[in-house]
Structures are given as C-alpha cells and as structure tokens.
A and B are shown apart, each in its own frame.
Chain A
Amino acid sequence: MYEFIAQQPLLAALFALVGLGAVFGALLGYAAERFKTEGNPIVDQINEILPQTQCGQCGHPGCRPYAEAIAAGEAINKCPPGGQAGVQALADLLDMEPIPLDEEHGEEDVKKIAHIREAECIGCTKCIQACPVDAILGAAKHMHTVIASECTGCDLCVEPCPVDCIDMIPEEQSLQTWTWDLPEPGRRVDIIATDATPAEEAA
C-alpha cells in the first residue's frame, strides 16, 4: 500500500479522490431521496402572510393559489385586504423591494362584514354557495344570515344575490375594539413651542 503510494503518487491521488467522490455522491444521493421536501415550502410561508379572505381580488381563486403564483414570480402587490402592511411583510419574507399596492385589484379599505337584510332574502342559497368560508347559514326558501364572527368581508356573496339584499357594513367600533392611535405626526411634532400658538390660531 505504502509502496504503491510512494511509487505511483499520481495514481494514488486519483484513486483517493475518485473514491471520496463516489462515497459522498452516494451519500448525497441518498439524502436527496430520504429527506425530500414535498411541494414548495415558501408557498406555505407566503400563504401564512396572506389574509385568507379568499376574496379573489388578486385574480386567483383563493389565497393559496396566489401564494403559489407569488412563489412562481408574480407581483406581491395584488392583495388589497392585506394592504400595504401585507406587501411589506411579503417583501421582507422574499427579500424584495416593497412596492405600492396595485390599485387595479382594489384599494385598501376598512374591514367590512356582510349583512343580509333578512326581510328581503328570498332564500335562493346563491350566497351560501359563493361564500368561501361557509359563513352564511340558511336553506333553500328559508331566510339566510351571516355568521359575523366567521365573515372575512371578501365581498363574494354580494354579486350573486338576485335581490341585492346583502350589504357590506364596516365593523362597528366598541369599547372592546377601540385602540389608541399613534400621535399625529406633522403639525404638532417637530416645531418649537413658541411657534405652536400662532399656528394654531391661524388654523
């Protein structure tokens, strides 16, 4: 062995490297099979950021398809319910520049909840079929109602209603949901105290 190495250093080195290569190659090949990941894991992460309203405003039939599309390279600014904050979160995740929300797909709006004017409902079940999260309760020829806590405000039930009895009502603020706002920037910030009074008088 030593003799062979000493006498044929070139061949010995060659054998050693080829041998190592074969061993590691086999190891890697095995690992690739053994620890194979199903699907694209980034899709799950993107899907987690998306608001899950399943509204389809992005042009995809639900949040997961849009997550898959983003993973495949689609723009990240097509989700109005997620808003600019959602775009920012996606940009952070994907290490991209945040871009302004694409208004073609709708504008960021206050949270709304569907409400059925029950006196006008004819019980056609069309909205029930349209609701992506089963938040509408009812049966054929019986009045329907929205389970407010389950409604995502996706708007999809409004269009199919033949009697236009569904309203999208902004969520009402109560003592439980009210929160402090960030102090208003601008006029009252970054000015000298003595400037404040005339400015206020002027306004």
Chain B
Amino acid sequence: MRKVFGFHGGIHPPENKHQSLGSPIAQAGIPAELVLPLSQHIGAPAVPIVEVGQHVLKGQQIAEPAGFVSVPIHAPTSGTIRAIEDRQVAHPSGLSARCIILASDGKDEWIEHSGLADYRQVERSELLSRIRNAGIAGMGGAGFPTAVKLAVKPDAKITTLIINGTECEPYITADDELMRERAAQIIEGTEILSCIVQPDETLIGVEDNKPESIAALQAAAQGTAIEVVVFPTKYPSGGEKQLIEILTGKQVPSGGLPADIGIVCQNVGSTVAIRDAIIDGRPLISRITTVTGESVQEPRNYEVLLGTSMSYLLQQAGYQPDGNKRLIMGGPMMGFTVPDPQVPIVKTTNCLLAPSEAELPTPPPAQACIRCGMCAEACPASLLPQQLYWFAQGREFEKAEQHNLFDCIECGACSYVCPSNIPLVQYYRAAKAEVVQMRRDAEKSEHSRIRFEARQARLEREAAEKEAKRAARKKAAEEKARLAAEQGGAGEDPIQAAIERAKAKKAAQAAGAGGESEAEKLEKAVQTTRKRLDTAEKKLAAAMEEGSDLVSALQTGVDKTRAKLEAAETALADYHRANPSTEPVTAEPEVDAAQAAIKKAMAARAAEADKSPEQKARDNLAKLEARLAKSEARLEQSRAAGEEEKIITALESTVERLKDKVAEARSALAEAEAS
C-alpha cells in the first residue's frame, strides 16, 4: 500500500453523485444540426478549412489549429456545412463566437481512418502529432491542448505520470462511469501516455467514493506497472496541484507547472481520447457528459457528439424547465450559468446541471466580511482568501498579486464556507482579469513608446539628412565660386560676375529679337484673346439656351474679353504703325535693361507724337468706350447680385463720368475729323 499525503484545507460538500449513476452511459444520438465553436480549448481559436455547402464525412478535419497552443476540430458526423457564423456559445459572458454549423445527413459515414498497429514502434513526436491532429484538449474542464502539455522539454525528466480519475466535484459522474465501463481503454491510454513521457512510475488517482471504478481499474491494470491509488474523498482533490500533492507529497511551485517537478497529469477522459486517436485513429468528436439535477427526470451519463445543443441532450433526459431557474455547465462549485440552453456541448462540457430552486437556491445577498478566517482554513492553495478579497474590493491588485492571487484555482471552497455568503471567487476572477489587463496594457504602452521613439528618431534623422544635403550643396556652390574666381582672375567678385551674366542675358534678349518678339507678343495676345472670346461666347450661348442663372456673369465675362481683345488689337495696330518695318534695334550688349526700357518708352512717345490728331482722338475714344462697357457691366453685375447701395451709387457715378468722357472724346474726334 502506497503512502497517501494530504493537502491543506478542502471541504466536504454533499456529493449528490448517486442520482446519475443508476444507468450506464447512453448514446445521445445524432441531432439534425451541430454547432461547433472554433474555440473549445485554451489558446488560439481554430481556423475553418471547409466551405459553406461542402459535404464532410464523420471524423473529417473541418478546422485547423492556429498556432502552437491550439487544436483542430473534426466533423462529429457526416453532413453538409450549413454556415460558418457567430453563434452563442457556452461561456459565462453569453457572448457569441464563430462556429461551424453542420447539418447532419443521418448516414453517420466515417472518413477513412486507421490507427497504429504498434505505437511502441513509432517516434514520440509522431504520437504527439497524432494526438494533436485528433483535436484532443484536456477534458476535465480546462481544455488545455493535450499535445502541448505532453510535449515536455527533452531534458526534463518525468518521474511520475498521474492519471486523474478523482472527479471531486459534486454531481459529476462522467469520469466515474467512464472508469466503470471503459477501464480497459483507460489502461491502454495510460500505457500510450507512459510510452510518450517515459515516467518512473504511473499512478491512477481515484477517490474512495468510487468503489466500482476502483475495482474495475484494478482488474484492468492487472499485469501492468500501473498503480491505482485510492485516497479519502475531499473537495478539491481533483485539482491538478492538489492531486499531485496527495499522491507524491510534492507541491508544484507557485507560478510553475507540474513538469517543473517531473510530473505530468492527465484526465481519464483525455486518456481514453488519446487511446482512441492512437489505436483506432479516431479524432475527438464525442465525449461523456453527465446530465443531472432535480429538473431532469432521468439523470444519467450520455455519450454525446460535440456540437449537440444542450437542449437536445436535456430533452433526452426528460428536462422540465419550469422548476429550473438556471442551467449550469460544469459542477455546482466551479461551473457557470449557461446563457441559453441552445448553446452547444463542447470538448470541456463534463456536466449539465439543471437543479431545482430548492436544490441549489439563489445565493443569499452578501454581507460584510467578519474576518472569521474560515476561508483561509478551507483554501486548498494555502492562500489568505479574505485578504485577497479586501485587496480586490479596494482595487489594490498589486497587493493581491503579491499575496499569490494567481495560485488561486477558483475551486470555490472559500465561497462555500463563507458565513457571509460573499462571492469570493468572483472577486478573484475579476482581480486576476484586472491584473492580466494591466500587464497587457503595460506591454502595449511599452510597445507604443518604442514605436513613438523610433518615429521621433526617424523624423530627426530625416531632418538632419536634409540639413546635411543643404549644407553640402552650399559648400559645393561656394567651392565652385571660389574656383571660378581663382580661374577667372583674382579680385573679381562672384556676385559681380552674376550681375554681369544677368545683364548680358537681358541685353542678348533685347538684341536678339527685340522688335520682332514685341510684335509677336502682341499678335499672340490678340490671338489668344480672340480664342478666349470665342469660347466665352459659346458658353454664354449655351447658358442662355439652358436658361442658367450664370448668364449675367458670363455676359460680363464676354464683355470683358471683348474689351481686352479690342485693346490688344489697338495695341498691335499701334505697334505696327510705330514700327512700319522691323526696326533694327542696335542695342549694344552693355546697354542695360533700364536703358532699354527708356528707349522703348521714348519710341512709344515718338509714335504717339507721330500720330495724327484724328488718330489720337479715335484711340482715346476706343479706350474710353472699352472702359465704359466694363464699368456698365460691373454695375449690372452689382445690381443683379444686390450689392450694397454705396457700391452701386459709386459705380453709377463712375459710369456717368465715363459717359461724359466718351461724349467729350466723340466731340474731339469730330473736331479732328472736321479739321
């Protein structure tokens, strides 16, 4: 007989296991629709590899793992993928998550699959990849990917392999039934596991309230090195760390893993799933789930396909929703209320508890903590629950962390014994979440800081580069100037040289095609103005046709352009008159721009003087008329726009004045013509 150790604290709640132990495991059958959440395990959600409308066979992989800590999902029966959409899932939040919806065809047709004839002959990594590909995640309730748990570091020596058949939580009997009925498979699975981790000893831990299971396991384990260890019933002996302490007397270090002290622990359900995957090549597509509570007529265990809706399973057990205030997934200690009975069964659903109000009453309101210390006595992790409670309530999460908040396994023993009915576990869950959030925020802010600083550095570098380029250019220019100065003759100033150059250029321009370019310019001006006038007129015509309200504006535009054209034409005519032939401009290179301008002005004046008085008067009249037209147009525009009185009066007076001037010019012209 092996020495059995104990652990601190623990409680003895009513077991309530007999209700569901009356009859053997029943097959739940194939529902018409299966809803398979992509996230049934701890880690990254799986990624669908099927398309809507695709036909799949039983056991076919329909989603692949996304990353190392993830597992695939397989079709629990043959059928057609109906949808890949968000559905409500079994989660305390009541949130929806992405699910694959499979419509079963009722044929339950298997995909071709085969197991390993002799698993002892294959590599350890091959066994692990088979376990991973079978989609196995811890079936005790946490759902941690089994292959990840088994993939211990090669240098870490595993001394003890523990198979957890404790099932300490009240009401749940899924593992108990499994051990009673499938003890041989458990032993086979255990042998596969011990082949993978190569432990010195292999133990199966079972509480002493399951005598049938113990007998069955002991019978099946005959002739193997596997030892079935029986120990007194106490909640929560089934917790991984507690079971390790019971069986080996060793404590898993705070924040550590069992592998750190050479121990690997697996649930019996997972062990059978591993056996099925290796020996039969069957992926994880179903599990044993207890349906119990006073609101079901026939509490018992079912082998149920993953993705089956809870209501379908409850119906089979004779569910009476009237007396059932809340439906719980998991046990009464660690389970959570399911938001809606339509949600699917997943890999971690070990129990559906439908209690009556009398059986599991609504918790009475919490009262003040009286510091009785009963929680500290019950705590299996040797924590100070009331202290953690105060810290959580006061939002002093750092202190809670220092008091080993993260060693809390959320077993609920403290809440169970609390005379003030304080929902202690909820405080710890919230505090843990806050701490995790704070860590995440700190990480993110550190990341942002690095990015911000990198950006600042980049901007500075870019500015510096620009500045350096500018400086280099400046230096090069100076160097060039210096060289030029040295070559071109000492004492000559570069600025002076530049001025000279500019002068020379201007002179050349004036000399090159002075007269001609002037005439060309004028001609060009006339042409472009004419062209503009044409387009403006066309536009005006179009606007008039359409009756657009832009007509007046366009009209002014046309008038203006016409006036400009006239002016341009006059200027051209003047120029031709002034320069009958191409005037030979004999401008010497040293003549500067100012002098050229003076010359031009003088020429213009001379031309003016040359004009006959008649011509002068006509020019004057034309100019004035153009101005008058412009002013009138402006006045019209102002009136149309309803501008201020002042402006309109001013414009009116301008028009008047111009009219007078035009009249004057007319008379002058008449005089000139007469003379």
Contacts and interface: CB of A to CB of B under 8 A. Distances in A.
Given A134-B455, A188-B366, A190-B366, A52 B448 contact: yes
A179 B93 CA distance: 8
Contacts of B582: none
Given A47-B449, A54-B448, A175-B39, A182 B427 contact: yes
B426 A182 contact: yes
B445 A183 contact: no
A7 interface: no
A10 interface: no
A173 B364 CA distance: 30
A85 B395 CA distance: 10
Contacts, number: 92
Interface string A167-199: 000000111101111110100111111011000
Given A134-B455, A182-B392, A174 B441 contact: no
Given A52-B449, A133-B455, A193 B427 contact: no
A191 B364 CA distance: 9
Contacts of B91: 175, 178
A150 interface: yes
B437 A180 contact: no
Contact of B452 (A133, A173, A175, A192): A133
B366 A189 contact: yes
A184 B91 CA distance: 20
A127 B44 CA distance: 32
16 contacts: A52-B452, A54-B448, A54-B452, A150-B448, A175-B91, A176-B45, A179-B433, A180-B426, A180-B429, A181-B430, A182-B392, A182-B427, A188-B366, A189-B367, A190-B366, A196-B365
Interface in A129-165: 132-135, 150, 152
A172 B368 CA distance: 36
Contacts of B421: 193
A62 interface: yes
Nearest to A185: B393
Closest 3 CB pairs of A and B: A179-B433, A180-B429, A52-B445
Contact of B451 (A134, A185, A191): A134
B95 A196 contact: no
Nearest to A188: B365
Given A51-B445, A190-B368, A196-B364, A180 B455 contact: no
A182 B393 contact: yes
Contacts of B39: 175-176
A192 B367 contact: yes
- Is the interface on chain A under 10, 10 to 19, 20 to 34, or 35 or more residues? 20 to 34
A53 interface: yes
Contacts of B368: 190
A63 interface: yes
A183 B446 contact: no
A84 to B, nearest CB: 10
Nearest to A134: B455
B92 interface: yes
A165 B256 CA distance: 48
Contacts of A191: 365, 367
Given A179-B430, A182-B393, A182-B430, A150 B365 contact: no
A150 B451 contact: yes
Contacts of A183: 366, 423, 426-427, 430
Contact of A133 (B365, B367, B448): B448
Given A50-B445, A189-B365, A189-B366, 9 more contacts: A53-B448, A63-B449, A133-B452, A178-B91, A179-B429, A180-B426, A180-B430, A180-B433, A182-B431
B97 interface: yes
B645 to A, nearest CB: 40
A175 B95 contact: yes
B452 A132 contact: yes
